Structure 1
Amino acid sequence: MAELETNAALPGTTPAAAAPTAAGSPAPEIEINGDGHVADGNETHAKRSSRQRLLRGLQRISSSPTLAQLGRPRASSSPYGKHGTLSCVSLASSPSPFGHPSAGSSYFSQPSTDGSSAPTSIPGSPMAELPGFDGIESVMAVRKIETPLSKPTTAAMPAELRKKTKVFNMWASMPHEIKIHVLSFLQPKELVRASRVSKDFYDMCFDGQLWTCFDASEFYKEIPFESLSKIIVAAGPFVKDLNIRGCVQVEHDKRAEMVVKACRNLINATLEGCRNFQRSTLHSLLKSNERLANLNLTGLTAVTNVTCKIVAQSCPHLEMFNVSWCKHVDARGIRLVVEGCHKLKDLRAGEIKGFDNLAVAGSIFKTNNLERLVLAGCTELNDTAFKIMIQGVNPEIDVLTERAIVLPRKLRHLDISRCSQLTTQGVKTLGYLVPELEGLQLTGVTHLTDAALEPILDSAPRLTHLELEDLSELTNTLLSEHLAKAPCAPCLEHLSISSCENLGDAGLLPVFRNCTSLKSVFMDNTRASDLALAEAAAMVRERAAPLHPLTYPNVGLSLVVYDCQNVTWTGVREVLSRNAEKIKPKRSQGQSPYDVAAPPSEIITLKCFYGWQMTVDEHTKRVLRGDVAAAGRLERKWADYMQATEEAGVAGAGGRRRRRRLREAQQVHADEEEAGAPGVIPGRRRARTAGCTVM
């Protein structure tokens, strides 16, 4: 506890009164007040007794634990440490003008909660009020005494007893199955590169599980057959899907034999374009893979009727067979495959001769398993053979409808394009016998009329693709009365009527109104006009919803209208303006019609006259990236330029003014078109040097 110094000079006394006499005897105690009055000894003794009582009270108060509760916390800027102690308390007096000590001027030493002894100021309060006395105001001063702290001494642990940290190798500690799964995300070219890291990586990269599907069509030009054969041989037993399309370097007999011997579990094989593939090697491959389900031999010169016989005998599970453009194969080899492979669903034999053989047609009719039949370019196919394929030989005929009473065919896709010997009598047999037909290609069958397609359109509710190119005898009645009202109208997606010179707006307008699912229409070299373009734009606008924020529009309809003499820049501008026009949501879409308008979610891409195509492409590019304002600005300036061009060609007064306006409009349009080009800073124009023209 603090030591109290009691020998301090009191206010109001003189030094002579407080000091002893020279003889050592105590001098009489006198005290002079502030007003000059001299106090006697009794008064001085009474005051000393009061002072001692005050000091004892201060001592009791300073040792009381209630001071810790009355004080405020130590300031963060206190210069005292945490382990200081209170050494002493000294009192200094000063006269108080009010005759009693001021509580706000008293300071006490308070031990803080963290062990420090910083001085704490205690404001005046009833609990901290000191006993008053006349003429004395006490002030405590605190002196800090540091106490040394005992720091424990520690010794380092011996190195042999320390715990050694193990180096964690994540890849080495990973299970083999997870490593294979990670490597399965790499492409074949990347796997070959990764195999050079180490021997372990080489073993993992050529693990058979990673090569169940080997597609070399993307890098076959960059890899020699020696390396290609090593990869196939290393992973041969595991390869199920083999695609070496276009690998013309497959010509070495020994290495090709190694590849064939290694691949014995193939399910899908694509050898299209491997024109150097030897016949013996191909036959060995077919004989050693009995599980083949899809076989593509397009364009191989090694394929013959003997190859088809081997396929029929060795591949009973075959479902897809493609021998298009194999010039050494005819319809007799196709017949062997059809009769030997009972699971065959997809037969592609384009540009194959001999389909006028009635026995081949009868075999195709008897199977009734084919879902896709491609006979494009089979110029020998005639009406008689085609009728036998569809309704058989001498079928029973219904007296009322004059239709053959046979089982419906399972065909979904039929391609008889460029079969020049087919006529209306042969093609119309498809009516009411192909209810599941989805795609029909009749391009180049020039002898067809409306009567050939009317029964097909009336009985094919799932038809989505219809190609009628170069059918010059078709009329608008087929489109307006049959296609627009057919059961397939709501689901029709692709329509091609290119070079059908008799078709125009009378047939196209009903089609655009009723076929609301159209995604592409090829009507180049027809009589279509601006009305057809406007109707197509209105159809897309009707089915499109407003674009959501932070999204971009997509292509909803592709139109091809070049070489259409009746299509002008006005119709093209109608399509461009509809692409950039904002629409409001409909009530049927569950939103209020008063919502904020937004650009459409679907737009139209257009192929038109080559002089306008650059402007159309630039406009479409701006719309697809969401810059509708720039697209609208380009469309307006292009319209001004086209209008000025038309006015400049008019004869009469004001020709010079119209030509000057044309040049100005052309300059503005060119500047706007170049502003959206890559590498051009927006808002800046490229300098041009125009030749001087004498007006």
Structure 2
Amino acid sequence: MATSVPDEILPSSEVSPASPISSTGQIPLEEPPKLKGRQKLLQNLQRMSSSPTLTRRGRSASTGYRRDHKASLSCVSLSSAAYSPCLGNGSTSQLYGGLNPRPATPGPSGPLEELEDNNARIRLVGTDTPNASRTVPLPIDLRPVSPRSGTPFEGDVLSTELILPDAKPARTIDFWGDMPRELQVEIFRYLTPREIVRCSAVSKMWHNMCYDGQLWCRLDAAEYYSKIPSDVLIKLITSGGPFVRDLNLRGCIQLKNKWSSDGERISDMCRNLVNLSLEGCIIDKSSMHYFLSRNPRLEYINVSGLKSVTNSAMKIIARSCPQLGTLNVSWCSNINTKGLLHVIQSCERLKDLRAGEIQGFDNEDFARALFERNTLERLIMSRTDLTDQSLKVLMHGVNPDIDVLTDRAVVPPRRFKHLDLHHCADITDAGMKSLAHNVPDLEGLQVAQCWELTDDALIDVIRTTPRLSHLELEDVDNLTNNVLVELAKSPCAQSLEHLNISYCENLGDMGMLQIMKNCPKLRSVEMDNTRVSDLTLMEASFRVRKRGYGEDIPRIGLRLVVFDCANVTWAGIKEVLSSNAYIPRARKPGTSANAIVTISQRNSDSDSVTTTTFVTPTSSPSPSPTLPAEIIQLKCFYGWQMTVDEHTKRVLRGDLNAASRLDRKWADYMMATEEAGAAGAGARRRRRRAREAERLYNADEDDDDSYGVGGISALGSRRRRAQSGGCTVM
């Protein structure tokens, strides 16, 4: 085992550089023979001393690279400043194992330390100088030797520069490029289809992403159908391919010449459609059949008005679309109830059938199929040849059991929620009465332009439909105010939202006043060309004001249509305008409150207590501005409509002062106009009608301010509760 010799005992200053030193660290007694060739080369590879103070010894036989001995090689002593960036902490045992660095020469900092591990062969010489030079002297063994003396040149020092690895440059973040594709696609979903098509011209990457099928799961061309060319539209459909679920090509007539060439390819790509709308398209018969036969998941089909849809298409739907829930074939002239019968019998999930302007509803077999299925919630049979007998079969079936006590058919109730029978001229009271007690879930009923209907049939239906919210009675001439009175008394009065009695010339204030009082959820009333007067408008204004006030911007709570009503004057219109901009006095900012103060004083003579009470006005802090919660939107005589619209616009933006000024100026203008047109029979007739309205407007009643807007009428006098002379309900 080699014996380690401390550097302190080596006479580094007296030993000649040419004196040989053995591998064990001792000076040999005899000079070894000179070697040649291979041995001389191996001798040069002998390990060198790690201390720069030791002179180079003579060359001896190389023993450091024998196969049977342990290899021994020490690293060149370098300055620690040069290697500190690379080696870090040289004393870390995890990096060097048992190899601890030691200084090469003794210095003032302290004596040199020996290696703790005898097996360690590597020593590092370093300094802790922070500003150490980046160049180190060449080791003495590698310095050039003088050819004469064989010693290195004095003062001949070669400097070498250590090139340290450059710091890694800061990573540049590509916000869009590093983003996952799923997030990129999700961002594109927030764009409109037109914007996505424009973005496709940015780059090839964006072009591929904009036509990714995931973006076109819902392809609705109804908003831009007239602005997109046929080639781009076909590319969108084919790019979506199996991703497309909702396809709406309503009005896309630019595909007229493309269906014959690309129709089969388009239908072959789109095989997972759920909703299909081709209303208004010009499509050939074969392409229509391709769509219907290759999409078994269809739940919604809208082919309204297409001439290419025939009874054969209905057979394909019955065979290929078992999950169909909504079918719209209105205005399809090549379809009748024979084709719809296949759909009714095969599609068990059908809930919505819209078959307006379809012939064959007088067929009792079709009505019986609908009765047996009993899954429909919406049935539109407007402008058809429906008869009383087919309507009875639809509601009661064929030969139903009759209850002896009530004289009603004992059948399961129908599930209809919306029933449209308008413009079915053959329907009379006999058929309409079959709806009574059989449609308890009915919410919408349209019997407009059924001229044969009277009060008896409709009253029975109204009384037995507690969920009725939409009622269309337009142009039913035989109706009277009794229908409206019964409607106000029925259970559905609490849920009624829309009522249309236009062109019912026998209806007037007697029925409409009850409707306004008893229907709190009323949102829309159409009563043009009726006998309603300003009384109905005043009652509507009062009921809308009772819906409350708040700090938010007002919204439209009730829409009234009263144009071409002879009994509606400008005074009633002004009443609505004033009510929309009205704020109760207690809610106006800056109002003062009165405080009641009581003072008690005891008399010293009679030991009596004197109490004095008086009222002291106190100022309260001004509350925040209060606005009406809901207002009335009015459609009236065209000569007044511009003023009404401007007034409504000001109220909706919260500017009640400007609305009130417009109201007052308009009232002054109307009164001046009446005074200026005093001559002529027409003027007398107008003045007489205005005086009659004023008399009714200011009629006496207990509640003085029930109709009033601040208690002042449109004509400047004190307002009181109005009454109509012939009204027996008020």
For residue 271 of structure 1, the aligned residue among 272, 278, 285 is 278
Mapped partners of 1:463, 1:608: distance in 2: 27
Mapped partners of 1:254, 1:159: distance in 2: 69
Letter in 2 for 1:524: D
Mapped partners of 1:240, 1:298: distance in 2: 20
4+ residue runs over 3 A deviation = 151-160, 583-586, 592-597
For residue 196 of structure 1, the aligned residue among 171, 186, 201 is 201
Matched, 1:501 2:505: yes
Mapped partners of 1:484, 1:165: distance in 2: 78
Mapped partners of 1:230, 1:626: distance in 2: 49
Select the structure that is richer in helix.
1
Q: CA deviation at 1:185?
A: 1.2
Matched, 1:639 2:667: yes
Q: Contact between 2:541 and 2:579, CA under 8 Å: does it hold in 1?
A: yes
Letter in 2 for 1:267: V
Letter in 2 for 1:263: C
Aligned to 2:36: none
Inter-CA distance 431–166: structure 2 relative to 1 (3 Å threshold): same
Matched, 1:448 2:453: yes
- Give per-residue Cα distances to partners, 1:13-68, cap 9 Å, x unaligned: xxxxxxxxxxxxxxxxxxxxxxxxxxxxxxxxxxxxxxxxxxxxxxxxxxxxxxxx
Q: CA deviation at 1:163?
A: 2.6
Aligned to 2:296: 290
| Secondary structure at the counterpart of residue 222 of structure 1 | coil
Letter in 1 for 2:642: M
Q: CA deviation at 1:598?
A: 2.2
Mapped partners of 2:584, 2:525: distance in 1: 24
Aligned runs of 1:24-103 on 2, under 5 Å?
A: none
Matched, 1:433 2:434: no
Q: Contact between 1:583 and 1:598, CA under 8 Å: does it hold in 2?
A: no
For residue 326 of structure 1, the aligned residue among 332, 353, 378 is 332
Aligned to 1:546: 549
Aligned to 2:645: 617
Matched, 1:300 2:306: yes
Q: Contact between 1:183 and 1:191, CA under 8 Å: does it hold in 2?
A: yes
Mapped partners of 1:295, 1:491: distance in 2: 31
Q: Contact between 1:229 and 1:256, CA under 8 Å: does it hold in 2?
A: no
Aligned runs of 1:644-655 on 2, under 5 Å?
A: 644-651=672-679
- Give per-residue Cα distances to partners, 1:440-476, cap 9 Å, x unaligned: 1111111110111111111111111001000111111
For residue 223 of structure 1, the aligned residue among 224, 228, 234 is 228
Aligned to 1:129: none
Aligned to 1:214: 219
Mapped partners of 1:651, 1:239: distance in 2: 72
Inter-CA distance 580–153: structure 2 relative to 1 (3 Å threshold): farther
Q: CA deviation at 1:419?
A: 0.5
Mapped partners of 2:473, 2:237: distance in 1: 44
Letter in 2 for 1:259: I
Aligned runs of 1:106-185 on 2, under 5 Å?
A: 161-185=166-190
Mapped partners of 2:166, 2:230: distance in 1: 60
Q: Contact between 1:546 and 1:585, CA under 8 Å: does it hold in 2?
A: no
Aligned to 1:358: 364
Mapped partners of 2:324, 2:573: distance in 1: 50
Structure 2 gaps of 5+ residues are 1-129, 135-160, 588-592, 595-619, 684-730
Mapped partners of 1:157, 1:340: distance in 2: 88
Letter in 1 for 2:177: A
Q: Contact between 1:312 and 1:340, CA under 8 Å: does it hold in 2?
A: yes
- The number of residues matched between the two structures is 492
Mapped partners of 2:406, 2:674: distance in 1: 58
Aligned to 1:256: 263
Q: CA deviation at 1:579?
A: 0.1
Mapped partners of 1:647, 1:413: distance in 2: 52
Inter-CA distance 641–293: structure 2 relative to 1 (3 Å threshold): same
Please give the TM-score of this superposition, normalised by the length of structure 1. Answer: 0.68
Q: Contact between 1:229 and 1:258, CA under 8 Å: does it hold in 2?
A: no
- Give per-residue Cα distances to partners, 1:294-313, cap 9 Å, x unaligned: 00000111000111111001
Mapped partners of 1:250, 1:186: distance in 2: 25
Q: Contact between 1:583 and 1:600, CA under 8 Å: does it hold in 2?
A: no
Please give the TM-score of this superposition, normalised by the length of structure 2. Answer: 0.65
- Give per-residue Cα distances to partners, 1:493-512, cap 9 Å, x unaligned: 00000000000000000110
| Secondary structure at the counterpart of residue 441 of structure 2 | coil
**Identity over the aligned pairs, expressed in percent?**
51
Inter-CA distance 185–637: structure 2 relative to 1 (3 Å threshold): same
Mapped partners of 1:168, 1:596: distance in 2: 51
| Secondary structure at the counterpart of residue 631 of structure 1 | helix
Q: CA deviation at 1:651?
A: 4.9
Aligned to 1:677: none
Matched, 1:483 2:487: yes
| Secondary structure at the counterpart of residue 269 of structure 1 | strand
Letter in 1 for 2:302: N
Matched, 1:561 2:562: yes
Letter in 2 for 1:237: P
Q: CA deviation at 1:174?
A: 1.1
Q: Contact between 2:388 and 2:432, CA under 8 Å: does it hold in 1?
A: yes
Aligned to 1:348: 354
Mapped partners of 1:167, 1:428: distance in 2: 79
Letter in 2 for 1:630: A
Matched, 1:374 2:402: no
Mapped partners of 1:357, 1:651: distance in 2: 64
Aligned to 1:41: none
Q: Contact between 1:546 and 1:583, CA under 8 Å: does it hold in 2?
A: no
Mapped partners of 2:227, 2:235: distance in 1: 15
Mapped partners of 2:193, 2:162: distance in 1: 54
For residue 423 of structure 1, the aligned residue among 425, 428, 434 is 428
Q: CA deviation at 1:597?
A: 7.0
Q: CA deviation at 1:153?
A: 11
Q: CA deviation at 1:583?
A: 3.3
Q: Contact between 1:382 and 1:422, CA under 8 Å: does it hold in 2?
A: yes
Q: CA deviation at 1:259?
A: 1.1
Mapped partners of 1:247, 1:404: distance in 2: 49
Mapped partners of 2:275, 2:305: distance in 1: 17
Mapped partners of 1:611, 1:172: distance in 2: 62
Letter in 2 for 1:365: F
Q: Contact between 2:216 and 2:236, CA under 8 Å: does it hold in 1?
A: no
Mapped partners of 2:228, 2:658: distance in 1: 47
Matched, 1:511 2:511: no
Question: Which deviates more from structure 2 when the two are superposed, residues 239-248 or residues 201-210?
Answer: 201-210
Q: Contact between 1:546 and 1:597, CA under 8 Å: does it hold in 2?
A: no
Mapped partners of 2:430, 2:300: distance in 1: 34
Matched, 1:580 2:581: yes
For residue 386 of structure 1, the aligned residue among 391, 394, 401 is 391
Structure 1 gaps of 5+ residues are 1-150, 587-591, 656-695
Inter-CA distance 318–620: structure 2 relative to 1 (3 Å threshold): same
Aligned to 2:614: none
Aligned to 1:492: 496
